[in-house]
Amino acid sequence: MGTLEPARKSSPEDQLFVFDKNPDTTVKFVKEPESSPIKTIPVTAVSTPLEAVSESDVVLTVLPGPQHVKDFFATLITDLPVTEGIDERLFIDCSTIDPATSRSVASLVHSKGKGKFVDAPMSGGVVGATAGSLTFMLDCPSFAQDVVEARVVPVLEKLGRKIWRLGGQGAGLSGKLANNYLLAICNIATAEAFNLGIKWGLDPKVLADVVNSSSGRNCCSENNNPLPQISLGAPANRDYEGGFAISLMKKDLKLAIAAAEEAGAQLELADRAEQVYTATEDEYKDKDLSVIYRYLQDQNRKFQTKTVREV
């Protein structure tokens, strides 16, 4: 438990085999510019997940949701041969799913003797991934203490700046869902606050400076501001493209709500937040979560039009 600062990043001794169901994504990744940290590693694109796993002693998976993780590992564990004479294969799942699914998949992997499984969901978004500054929330099962210290941590150190070890199987996901529930609420509140300030006639940049030097400061106001030209590199500067999709934020919110119900924890803002994300997703499915600011503007225009008609 606690944090670890990274001792090193990628080294020439590493080899990386990559697969993505979207071939264009794989090609783009392989062609990263020379300035990217990944270019210190020999990168090979492969045509199937099984090929990637078969060539690797450490496997990192990042999938959209619980069912994708279940299906992937169910197929993989069936097809993957038992390999002798090398270190036991290590699976590190960085997907954001629910703790129950993580425990189920871990049980499958371990019962079939095909390797060790830990979850290490990440936070930091596209900016953090590009900069190698992600935060990982790592579970640390009792059977894998030595594995975590010797093999998991060195791999994650190459990708991020902080590694939080939170407890047994599924604990990393519990931490991630708590964090993402807070993100979901902060994102709406930030969009509402800036929408309110703009309606009052405040200068957006001045308002951002005020908020980010005051008690309202948060990651959405500072690093992913919903207004263009406020946060360097934020999706708002690219028509809300290329960030954390609103649909994924809604998925994480629903996972947090389900996990909270299982734990008996009351979430007072959850239902209304889910309604806002659902309405925004209907209009802006593939946009970054900060597009909620645009959704609020749409609602303002509809309200003003209705008011004029009533008058």
Q: What pLDDT tens digit does each residue of the chain (311 aa) get? A: 344 444 345 566 788 888 988 888 888 878 776 556 555 677 888 889 999 898 888 999 999 899 999 999 999 988 887 655 445 788 999 999 999 899 999 999 888 888 889 999 998 877 777 777 899 998 877 666 677 778 888 889 888 889 998 888 888 999 999 999 999 999 999 999 999 999 999 999 999 999 999 999 999 999 999 999 999 889 999 999 988 999 999 999 999 999 999 899 999 999 999 999 999 999 998 999 999 999 999 988 776 665 545 54
Of 3.40.50.720, 3.30.300.130, 3.55.40.20, 3.10.20.600, the CATH number of 16-168 is: 3.40.50.720
In the numeric block, which tokens belong to residue 71?
């299906």
Residue-level length of the chain: 311
pLDDT value at position 79? 87
176 is catalytic: yes
The catalytically annotated residue of 176, 250, 251, 287 is 176
CATH 1.10.1040.10 for domain 175-310, yes or no, is yes
**Considering only CA atoms, which of 124, 69, 72 is closest in space to residue 96?**
69
Query: What CA dihedral angle connects 181, 184, 189 and 192, to 10 degrees?
Result: -160
pLDDT value at position 272? 97
How far apart, in whole angstroms, are the C-alpha atoms of residue 254 and residue 251? 5
What is the residue extent of each domain of the chain? 16-168, 175-310
| Type of residue at 308 | V
pLDDT value at position 25? 82
Angle between helix 292-310 and helix 171-199 axes, rounded to 10 deg: 40
